[in-house]
């Protein structure tokens, strides 16, 4: 999958999230081929619905290479 040009569009999308300071972590799963996860921290002013629209506009998603599933996560504990 990494050689597919559409995947490069996905990496560009992730880099854009990182530049905005929203990307916490992203990578593929080691135990499942062609699946991965990204953890993002979006500003409350953006809202989950708007972020969902942005994520679904990722060219790797619109082209059918990847599917996106957005799940809100309440962080109750941290290592701080």
pLDDT digits (tens, 9 = 90+) for 20-51: 999 999 999 999 888 999 999 999 999 999 99
Structural domain includes residue 21 = yes
Structural domain includes residue 77 = no
23 neighbors 14 (Cβ within 8 angstroms) = yes
Segment 1-28 mean pLDDT: 93
Neighbours of 33 (CB within 10 A): 8
Place of tokens 């953006």: 46
Residue 80: pLDDT above 80?
no
64: left (phi over 0), alpha (psi -120 to 50) or beta: left
Structural domain includes residue 79 = no
Strand locations in 7-49, DSSP E? 23-28, 36-40
Q: Which domain holds residue 52?
A: 5-62
Structural domain includes residue 70 = no
Structural domain includes residue 73 = no
Structural domain includes residue 17 = yes
Structural domain includes residue 75 = no
Q: What is the pLDDT of residues 16-27, one digit of tens each?
A: 999 999 999 999
Structural domain includes residue 50 = yes
Q: What is the mean pLDDT of the chain?
A: 92
Domains of the chain: total: 1
26 bridge partner residues: 38
């Amino acid at each position: 999958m990494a050689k597919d040009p559409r995947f490069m569009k996905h990496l560009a999308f992730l880099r854009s999230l990182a530049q905005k300071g929203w990307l916490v972590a992203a990578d593929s799963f080691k135990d499942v081929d062609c699946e991965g996860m990204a953890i993002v921290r979006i500003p409350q002013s953006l809202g989950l619905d708007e972020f969902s629209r942005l994520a679904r506009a990722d060219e790797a998603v619109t082209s059918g290479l990847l599917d996106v599933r957005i799940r809100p996560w309440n962080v109750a504990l941290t290592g701080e």
